[in-house]
């Protein structure tokens, strides 16, 4: 998988998580989570989308697009948000 594709994947899954988190009805004692969770997932989606656009503008031979540590970090984040989607959804 390419680094740009992973960033777009993380963006899409976080947007879906923000939508799902906004649809949850919370107890009166923790109603602030109804604002915090969608905002947090939406913020991560914006960051991942910005990273995807930025990485997509780089040439394919650029160091950032061929970086193994960056790829490994994005894979770890993608696995984490996928597990969150499975647990929430």
Rounded distance between C-alpha atoms, residue 51 and residue 89, angstroms: 26
Contact 21, 84 (CB under 8 A): no
Rounded distance between C-alpha atoms, residue 42 and residue 47, angstroms: 9
Q: What is the mean pLDDT of the chain?
A: 91
Structure confidence by residue, pLDDT tens digits, 58-82: 999 999 999 999 999 999 999 999 9
- Asked if the model's pLDDT at residue 13 lies above 70, the reply is yes
- Asked if the model's pLDDT at residue 1 lies above 80, the reply is no
Percent of the chain topping pLDDT 90? 71
pLDDT at 50: 96
> Which candidate, 48, 51, 53, 50, places its Cα nearest to that of 78?
48
pLDDT at 31: 81
Structure confidence by residue, pLDDT tens digits, 20-38: 888 887 888 888 888 898 9
């Amino acid at each position: 998988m390419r680094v740009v594709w992973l960033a777009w994947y993380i963006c899409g899954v976080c947007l879906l998580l923000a939508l799902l988190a906004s649809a949850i009805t919370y107890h009166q004692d923790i109603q602030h989570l109804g604002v915090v969770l969608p905002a947090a997932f939406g913020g991560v989606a914006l960051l991942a989308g910005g990273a995807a656009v930025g990485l997509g503008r780089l040439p394919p031979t650029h160091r950032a697009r061929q970086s193994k540590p960056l790829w490994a970090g994005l894979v770890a984040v993608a696995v984490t948000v996928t597990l969150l989607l499975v647990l929430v959804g």
